[in-house]
Amino acid sequence: MPYSSVFLSEIVKYFDLEIVYDTGDIEQRRICVADVTRPGLQLAGYYDHFGPDRIQVVGNMEHAYLEHLTSQNRRKAIEALFEKNVPCLILTRNHEAHDEVIEAAQKLNVPILRTEQATSQFNSALIKFLNLELAPRISMHGVLVEVNGEGILILGESGVGKSETALEIVKRGHRLIADDQVEIRRVSDTTLVGRAPDVIRHLIEIRGIGILDVKELYGVSSVKPQEGIDFVINLELWDENKTYDRLGLTDETTDILGIKVPSITIPVGPGRNLAIIVEAAAINYRVKKMGYNAAQDLVARVFPGGNI
């Protein structure tokens, strides 16, 4: 479950931040934590439990406090903050950087950035961005599609028919997120998000044909950059010696990055239309989430007393 980092320059580009003071190394600065600090207490001199590796965001309150200080005290407060080696300071609401802030940034090599967004709005968007970019992640061999709003991860051995199934699903009006390699990130204790590596985004490999660009063939509505993983379908070649669940009473899960995702196993055999089966499985999963289970309803009809 490796943790990643994001370059400060990526944040500048994503949020269209203005560079007020450039240290010359924004392209190399890495942000490794998703937490963001509004340093009001720190500017007042309280540094217990302070995380120096967090992005510092100055909004209305912090700016007003700095305005209230004398020039000497303002310089002292800012230098004390920058001496902690913070990665950068971002001014919201287009606040002007005080001369003492610029001087401290030059002295202690801290980038100063600015946005016109409101502080709470910017903080929320920045934390969401960092949580996604810095989330624990894993790469899995499989296919990720969206079927009726549900993120379906299709797993199975090479050659079992995952890509062909995905292509047929796209033709039926659903969307492709990733083929062959799926980058999966755990963005919370209950949520997984998957997407394709940049180099193979929108591409799908069909044996005998080669590489297809799904976006170019079927239009922009046939692809999606990322999707939550709600359900896992494991495809495997039909094994005559194996007993498969025929009613769907058994609840299976697949563990991905410590999260147990509901799943089923579908045997692959001649004549089976996997795209229709996967589509039906996705719809059935959605119906179950809404509280109806056809298998349990059948058991209740056959055994009204509840004893099988």
Domain match, 171 and 279 both: yes
Q: Among 100-109, 142-151, 239-248, whose mean pLDDT is lowest?
A: 239-248
Strand ranges (DSSP E) for the chain?
6-7, 18-21, 30-31, 36-37, 55-58, 89-91, 112-114, 137-147, 150-156, 175-186, 192-195, 203-206, 210-213, 226-228, 231-237, 252-256, 259-268
| Residues belonging to the active site | 141, 162, 180, 246
What CA–CA distance (Å, rounded) separates 235 from 147?
17
Summarize pLDDT for 225-243 with one digit per residue, the tens: 999 999 999 999 887 778 7
Q: Which residue has the tokens 């439990």?
A: 49
Check residue 161 and report its DSSP letter. Answer: S
What CATH number did the domain enclosing 216 receive? 3.40.50.300
Q: Taking 60 as the threshold, does the pLDDT of residue 251 lie above it?
A: yes
Predicted TM-score (pTM) of the model is 0.77
The domain in which residue 162 lies consists of 137-299
Does the residue 122 lie in any domain?
Answer: yes
129/146 same-domain check: no
Question: How far lies 3's CA from each of 32, 138, 186, 187, in Å?
Answer: 8, 10, 10, 11
**Which of 116, 133, 150 lies at the terminal end of a domain, its last residue?**
133
Number of domains in the chain: 2
HSE value, Cβ hemisphere, 13 Å, CA-based, for 132: 13
Residues 81, 199, single domain; the answer is: no
Q: What pLDDT does 191 receive? A: 93
65 and 187 both lie in a single domain = no
State the residue for tokens 């509004």: 38
Flag whether 1 is in a domain.
Answer: no
d(Cα 214, Cα 170) in Å, to the nearest integer?
8
Residue 307: pLDDT band (50, 70, 90) is low
Cβ atoms of residues 70 and 47 within 8 Å: no
Same domain, 164 and 265: yes
Distance CA 140, CA 169 (A): 20
